[in-house]
Chain A
């Protein structure tokens, strides 16, 4: 039985107090509490402070490129249907450069979890506005205040068919671990947006900011419309599992008896060759 210690990888280099520490711990704890071993997981991360999680949580990890953790993670699952797959990244990674993939992953419903560490800013590049920065947000690149409005992540996955949509807060580890566990166990694409305060560059969306404003919900809404209405009503400041739907995932729907990994050294399959060759004769 693995312990949290077994899931410790490289030494984290995040700023002291960064919300990402809690999320890393949340992922480790969820894996342990569910009784999995490190080798059963692949964590695929993007680029940014959040991208380092694939090295800090000791499972199989793939630290990829900016915005592409979601398509790569889906590919991992297509290649090995037995692996538990988590994609992880930040708000810039997932809702900026990689937004397209997020929408398509939501509608495709491959069995994996997507955990976004949402700090409403670009941290690793030292404090530029992000697609999640609020209107009027002042940064080095928006000195007169952000003239755009933020992406609404949970509404996006809700509208586009994700079968598990949740939101958590790095300052509430108990609820977060519970949500991550449920996301991991959900069969299909599960999206978890986690508010993760950047203590260095974001002086607006702090721990206190969230503590004062977040509303917790205990039970998922019956349908997408109710979930969407609540998100809108609370301006996104809501935590809990917003929606969960049991539906066969993408791989089930394909109905293929997967045999992708048996390719071994030796001769080509001559029977297959002759069977296929016929169509060109």
Chain B
């Protein structure tokens, strides 16, 4: 019996790699397993190697894993590119002329069983050449003794529109796969233990972010298509009209933010979603939202930069842009979910913070988090309550007795009561020019100083429910590994591994609120410790940020990777070991 499985399907883009991977993942989810996935893909529609990696475990996991137990190859490149990651005793399923079972070794000396099957031919014989991937899935299911009923229920859903015949042939293909396994590689069968089925969702970071936004009352999204953020827009395109809202795909990135700012100004909870190049284009309007104190939520799913960079690859290099981007100085809040589960709550909280502090809130994501699905315990809708801040009614506005309502009234906390356009007693001016309390242009120096302080100090105490995650790993540790976004699972597993090996003890800090940085709370965790950030960029932007705010300069380094791939536990562990030995 096994408690976990690492599985990958690879092939050429357009060959159904994605759908095959997702189907197997969902089957494992339905079986009760905790599943993490990672999709590798290229910036083209057809052709080029792509793969879908799954790790399923009987306890909760947050990382799709370094290794492979079963590798399903739909093209020749799959084995060449991924053979290096095979675990000892792995099974490799290959397309070939005839059935063949061979034990082989990789260049690194890992032995594996290669099971060659004429998938296409068998599928054609079954009367449905398109079902070849289903045979391969049947083989996979057979190798871990997954009940075919689970796979079949998905087949019924997927092919519902194609009719009984197609459903039947696909089911038959799965059975054929299971049978092939039993007949030819029965010694490789190792069943997955049965786990209790729990109430879990299988969802991507983009979907969780969009879902959280919907639940927070967001009713308008305007955006421009961009990888890896498009799914936020696509998902809400289906959901918003059902609740009286709408998504607009507009002419460009600038319009994307401008429409949303306009909708938010008029009182609708509104957002835009983008990736690095789009955020670059949006930065002037971002400044406008900050200056004119209009709430706005901007989702930025990072990809490989700079410029067009690596558009379908993972990176975490927009930290500086999210925190500092735009001319002049504006109030803003920058959040970055550690896990897909957190993405739901952070999106919802972002709308509250935007309303409460009347400023832009940037919700950071990265390709790893955005595009890959993971199982999460179902969300708790009671955890975040909708808070619209100092939004006032016409009645309340009337009490001020002003002909022209002072939109930028000075208050103790710097936040002004906010009426909406359309209220009879609250005609007011909103402005991106420096302005006085009435919103009218002012170049008066005293006013300028007061207004700057009002705006920039109001966000100082902004704080989400969980500004960071910290695991002290049971006590005093040698080092603190610090991360953000989708590195959560890898860092967690690295620490576990290093601990087991007795190499070094490490605690884990994962920051979810990057700006304003919760320095008071972070300082006791970091000062006097050896700090090692783990981040997907060249400069170590997270390290720079921490150094800027805390006295950790003499004892802090960054482990960086910017090749477009996410970290593996192997690479982080190796680099931690190097750092440690180097100091000794």
- Chain A interface residues (CB < 8 Å from chain B): 9-10, 37-40, 42, 44, 52, 54-55, 58-65, 68, 71-80, 82-83, 100-101, 103-104, 254, 256-270, 272-273, 276-277, 280-281
- B246/A79 in contact, CB under 8 A: no
Q: How far is the CA of A37 from the CA of B394 in the complex (A)?
A: 15
In this complex, how many residues of chain B approach chain A with their Cβ under 8 Å: the count is 73
| Contact partners of A59 in chain B: CB under 8 A | 427
Of residues 438 through 471 on chain B, the ones whose CB sits less than 8 Å from some CB of chain A are 438-441
Q: How far is the CA of A220 from the CA of B261 in the complex (A)?
A: 35
Q: Is B320 an interface residue, CB under 8 A from the partner?
A: no
Q: How far is the CA of A55 from the CA of B407 in the complex (A)?
A: 13
- A261/B421 in contact, CB under 8 A: no
- B386/A266 in contact, CB under 8 A: yes
Shortest CB-to-CB span from A276 to chain B, Å, is 6
Chain A binding surface SS class: mixed
- B259/A74 in contact, CB under 8 A: yes
| Contact partners of A55 in chain B: CB under 8 A | 429, 431, 439-441
Q: Which 7 A-B pairs have the closest CB atoms?
A: A75-B262, A259-B244, A263-B217, A79-B263, A79-B266, A60-B421, A75-B259
Of residues 329 through 370 on chain B, the ones whose CB sits less than 8 Å from some CB of chain A are 348
Shortest CB-to-CB span from A123 to chain B, Å, is 16
For A68, A258, A267, A269, which residue has the most chain B Cβ atoms within 10 angstroms? A68
Shortest CB-to-CB span from A12 to chain B, Å, is 11
- B266/A76 in contact, CB under 8 A: yes
Q: How far is the CA of A75 from the CA of B214 in the complex (A)?
A: 18
- A63/B266 in contact, CB under 8 A: no
- A54/B255 in contact, CB under 8 A: no
- B441/A80 in contact, CB under 8 A: no
- A68/B381 in contact, CB under 8 A: no
Shortest CB-to-CB span from B92 to chain A, Å, is 32
For B200, B243, B438, which residue has the most chain A Cβ atoms within 10 angstroms? B243
Q: How far is the CA of A80 from the CA of B288 in the complex (A)?
A: 20
Decide: A272 near B258, CB < 8 A? Known: A10-B441, A40-B422, A79-B220.
no
Decide: A62 near B430, CB < 8 A? Known: A44-B262, A75-B263, A254-B246.
yes
| Contact partners of B250 in chain A: CB under 8 A | 71, 104
Shortest CB-to-CB span from B271 to chain A, Å, is 12
- A42/B244 in contact, CB under 8 A: no
| Contact partners of A72 in chain B: CB under 8 A | 258-259, 261-262, 265
- B255/A268 in contact, CB under 8 A: no
Q: How far is the CA of A10 from the CA of B282 in the complex (A)?
A: 30
Q: How far is the CA of A256 from the CA of B244 in the complex (A)?
A: 6
Q: Can you spell out 17 A-B residue pairs with CB atoms less than 8 angstroms apart?
A: A58-B427, A61-B431, A64-B258, A68-B288, A75-B222, A75-B258, A80-B420, A80-B422, A82-B422, A100-B251, A104-B250, A256-B244, A261-B219, A263-B268, A265-B385, A268-B385, A273-B379
Q: Is B432 an interface residue, CB under 8 A from the partner?
A: yes
Shortest CB-to-CB span from B519 to chain A, Å, is 30
Q: How far is the CA of A74 from the CA of B246 in the complex (A)?
A: 13
Q: How far is the CA of A264 from the CA of B324 in the complex (A)?
A: 32
Q: How far is the CA of A281 from the CA of B211 in the complex (A)?
A: 14
Q: How far is the CA of A270 from the CA of B219 in the complex (A)?
A: 16
Q: How far is the CA of A72 from the CA of B211 in the complex (A)?
A: 25
Q: Is B232 an interface residue, CB under 8 A from the partner?
A: no
Q: How far is the CA of A263 from the CA of B384 in the complex (A)?
A: 14
- A280/B244 in contact, CB under 8 A: no
- A61/B244 in contact, CB under 8 A: no
- A268/B427 in contact, CB under 8 A: no
- A273/B220 in contact, CB under 8 A: no
| Contact partners of A256 in chain B: CB under 8 A | 241, 244-246
